[in-house]
Amino acid sequence: MFCLFSLVSLLVIPVHCSKGWDIKYSSMTKCALKGSTITLSGSYKHPDHLKVIEIFWTVNPSKGNSINLMNHTDYRDRVQFFPGKEGLFFLKLSNVTHEDKGMYCLRILTGVGDQNYLGYPGPELNVTDLRVEIPAEIIEGASPVLFCKTTCYLSDKTDFTWYKNGKRLSDSIVLDQLLLSSVSRDDTGNYSCAPRDQKHLSSPAVTLSVRYPPKSVSVSISPSGVIVEGDSVTLICSSDSNPPALIFRWFKEKQSSSVGSGQSFIISSFNSSHSGRYSCEAQNQHGSQRSDSVSVTSAGGQNTPQSAHVLSAAAGICAALICICIVIVVIKVIRKTGDSGVRGGISRQESNSTAVTDQMTTHPSEAADPYDFMYASISHKKPRKHQRAEDEDEVQYASVQHHRNTRNVTAEDRCQYGDVRDHRPAVSAGLNAESADDFSVIYSSVKVA
């Protein structure tokens, strides 16, 4: 009898268990980004003889303490329950925070004493932030890889979008890795990532700093105006580098070694010996570069090559002008002297001619033969007895006027003679007086009327 009862009991129990409680969840782990919206789901079965009067989701349940999330102060406005097909029941939680981390379970109430059911254990929710990881040091020319990381695994279907300085990069980049090929200083910026088309869930921006040697090294002069001897002059070296250059050296043209160090080079009392061309060299741990040289010259110091050329040209022009002025003055003096001599000779000739005319007018010779020549006012001068042979000829002047018979003489017979000069060689002291008399006759101002 006992055996028969035991057999019947074994047959009945499986039937009763098959109609017991059964809850299944779609996933037992869930990773959610902070600020995102998630959905949890589970299906349940209950014994046929029990009627379900309430079903809800609860978090981190404990014995005798299962709070409906709809009534929870931290979830009240962020959760939704809704049923689905085939006994599914969903939980939608928005604006997830790190405080939402925990275990979420379905709780089923039947209203019959202890016949309520808790679907424990339930899905475990983890909340994560996105973050960008970059290499510790990136040198110009390298090809670093940036990673978009989380503290938990989101899913295989998650695509990402990358941003630089808030601007979206190529749409073809959808992975959680970003490769930057052969970086330069232009790649420096703030990088962030986010789930595709969910920029509001973007990670905090991380600054990528490309390190490179000094570039664009230049020298500036203070004060920038004219430098006067005795002034204090400061040369300042500037460069573009990352990290900033800390080593500076100063060089002066035609000097092999440096003349100073530091970002500023100060000349406390400038003089002509300091004049010249200066340059600086900036250096960091990645390299160095030297600037172009600049000219530093005082107002009273050495001239630059350009100034020397200008001064030489100006001196040449001044010399040429002075020569031209001298030539003009000499020409004017010569012309003035020549005009005075000519005027003097003409005046003397006019005076002598007038004297002869007056004489002949006073003593006319009416009986003279028409073709005879008349001489008047003929002055004869002998040479000096002691005159040296090398002396120049002595010029003798005589006023001779000839009156021809005007009777039966046509106008064509009239002839005017004037300015007749005879230059004879000097007579030596040994010549006799008569020979000297013959050769010293000078005719001048001969007029035939």
- pLDDT of 281 reads 97
- Among 127, 146, 179, the domain boundary falls at 127
Whether 306 is covered by a domain: the verdict is no
Q: Which residue has the higher pLDDT, 211 or 374?
A: 211
pTM tops 0.75:
no
Q: Percent of the chain having pLDDT more than 90?
A: 45
What tens digit of pLDDT does each residue of 324-341 get?
989 898 888 888 876 665
Assess whether 138 and 150 both reside in one domain: yes
Average pLDDT score, the chain? 75
Whether 325 is covered by a domain: the verdict is no
Assess whether 77 and 146 both reside in one domain: no
- Among 241, 270, 296, the domain boundary falls at 296
Number of domains in the chain: 3
Whether 350 is covered by a domain: the verdict is no
- pLDDT of 62 reads 82
Assess whether 120 and 47 both reside in one domain: yes
Closest CA to 29 of 129, 128, 148: 128
Whether 53 is covered by a domain: the verdict is yes
Q: Which domain holds residue 264?
A: 217-296
Assess whether 123 and 151 both reside in one domain: no
- Among 93, 127, 161, the domain boundary falls at 127
Assess whether 37 and 70 both reside in one domain: yes
Q: Which residue has the higher pLDDT, 207 or 2?
A: 207
Q: Which residue has the higher pLDDT, 126 or 440?
A: 126
Please give the Cα distance from 250 to 219 (Å, whole number). 10
* Token code pair at residue 95: 């604006």
Cα distances (Å, whole numbers) of residue 282 to 213, 215, 243, 265, 273: 9, 9, 12, 13, 25
* Token code pair at residue 209: 């700093």
Assess whether 27 and 80 both reside in one domain: yes
Assess whether 44 and 142 both reside in one domain: no
Assess whether 151 and 82 both reside in one domain: no
Assess whether 54 and 87 both reside in one domain: yes
Assess whether 41 and 66 both reside in one domain: yes
Closest CA to 263 of 294, 219, 295: 219
Q: What is the CATH number of the domain that holds 184?
A: 2.60.40.10
Whether 430 is covered by a domain: the verdict is no
Given pLDDT bands bounded at 50, 70 and 90, which one contains residue 111?
Answer: confident
Assess whether 45 and 141 both reside in one domain: no
Q: Percent of the chain having pLDDT more than 70?
A: 67
Backbone angles phi, psi at 48, to 5 degrees: -65, -30
What tens digit of pLDDT does each residue of 372-411 get?
433 444 444 444 444 444 444 444 444 444 444 444 444 3
- Please compute the mean of the pLDDT values over residues 133-158 and round it to a whole number: 91
Please give the Cα distance from 430 to 215 (Å, whole number). 105
Whether 313 is covered by a domain: the verdict is no
pLDDT > 60? residue 116:
yes
Assess whether 111 and 150 both reside in one domain: no
CB 281 within 8 A of CB 239: no
Whether 360 is covered by a domain: the verdict is no
What tens digit of pLDDT does each residue of 252-298 get?
998 889 999 999 999 999 998 999 999 999 999 999 999 999 999 98
What tens digit of pLDDT does each residue of 158-210 get?
889 999 999 999 877 788 999 999 999 999 999 999 998 788 899 999 999 99
Please give the Cα distance from 249 to 174 (Å, whole number). 49
What tens digit of pLDDT does each residue of 301-325 get?
444 444 445 557 777 898 889 989 8
Spatial neighbors of 391 by CB under 8 A, at least 6 apart, are: 426
Please, which residues bridge with residue 240 across strands? 215
Whether 410 is covered by a domain: the verdict is no
Backbone angles phi, psi at 439, to 5 degrees: -95, 0
Count CB neighbours of 280 within 10 A.
30
Cα distances (Å, whole numbers) of residue 98 to 112, 216, 304: 37, 49, 73
CB 365 within 8 A of CB 374: yes
pLDDT > 80? residue 225:
no
